[in-house]
Amino acid sequence: MKFNIITVFPELIAHHFNYGVCGAAVKKEIIGLNILNLRDFTTDKHQTVDDKPFSGSDGMLLKYEPLSKAVESLPKSNKSKIISLSPQGRVWSDAKANAYAQDVSEVTFVCGRYAGIDQRFVNKYVDEEISIGDYVISGGEMAAVIVMDSIMRKIPGVLGNKDSSVKDSFAHQLLEAPAFTRPREIDGESAPEAYLSGNHKLIKDLDLALSVLVTHFKRPDLISDTSRVKPAAQFIKKTLSKKEIKVCGLCPEKIEGLL
């Protein structure tokens, strides 16, 4: 997988890839990273990348010419996509990250700034507009990093454990189950006994039941098959004590109400 990023602030992108699993993936060349400074594609001495909109509205627009030159400088690829980060785009999701990781070999991100991008560039070059949520941030760089990070986690070899991305929240339209580490007891609260039992099937079943209930209570919009909720509640009531249910961040009374 290769990422091209067209930006006015290349340092914002480069800084992120100095750290963590994403940085390591770039260093190992599992991921290709090509950061293009938009100012390098200007022709005037001031390296102007923006101008006032004809409408007279507030802000400045990124100009067509440097953006088009930046895109045209890249080799053409059949399995490539050009993404514009925009609050007008479709909201990014784990399913989209999976699709890009599996079906696309090269992604070019166009990071908007100021009041946006000349629409004619979007019309000609952009394959998809992507939003990371229903709010506005100062530029597309942070959004691009978030989208890249979510795709990279799906690429074999990026994460230390090949199963990590499969178990992430949203991977199966469920949030992750609560997790615990040492020490076993903190402020009188102990990790559930089942997690210390060594019974791998029990732990797997417990994780799934907790995931279903956590999703039901926190993000019910994610659960399309509500028939899973009652069996999960029955399993949790049978497996965990009321105190352990509370330690898992759930309310025993609400679980009783599902039965």
Alpha helices in the chain (DSSP H): 10-16, 20-27, 64-72, 94-103, 119-125, 140-152, 164-167, 200-218, 229-239, 242-247, 252-256
Amino acid at position 68, single letter: S
Per-residue pLDDT of 148-190, as tens digits, reads 999 999 999 998 765 555 555 555 679 999 999 999 999 999 9
Tell me the three state secondary structure of residue 11: helix
C-alpha dist (Å) from residue 109 to 5, 205, 249: 5, 40, 38
CA 138/CA 6 separation, integer angstroms? 15
Rg (CA), the chain: 23
Using an 8 Å Cβ cutoff, are 250 and 214 in contact?
yes
Across the chain, what does the average pLDDT equal? 93
Give the model's pLDDT for residue 224. 84
In the predicted structure, residue 90 carries a pLDDT above the cut 70: yes
Of the candidate CATH numbers 3.40.720.10, 3.40.50.720, 1.20.120.160, 1.10.1270.20, the domain formed by 172-256 belongs to 1.10.1270.20
Cα dihedral 237/242/245/251 (nearest 10): 100
Per-residue pLDDT of 54-83, as tens digits, reads 987 788 999 999 999 999 999 988 889 999
CATH class of 2-152: alpha beta
Cα dihedral 90/94/97/98 (nearest 10): -130
Axis-axis angle for helices 200-218, 229-239 (nearest 10): 130
126: phi > 0 → left, psi -120 to 50 → alpha, else beta; which?
Answer: beta
In the predicted structure, residue 230 carries a pLDDT above the cut 80: yes
Hunting for tokens 């938009």 — which residue is that?
38
**241: which residues sit within 8 A by CB, 6+ positions away?**
none
Using an 8 Å Cβ cutoff, are 249 and 214 in contact?
yes
Using an 8 Å Cβ cutoff, are 140 and 116 in contact?
no
In the predicted structure, residue 104 carries a pLDDT above the cut 80: yes
Domain ranges in the chain are: 2-152, 172-256
Q: What angle do CA 66, 86, 167 make, to 5 degrees?
A: 120
Give the model's pLDDT for residue 178. 95
CA 254/CA 256 separation, integer angstroms? 5
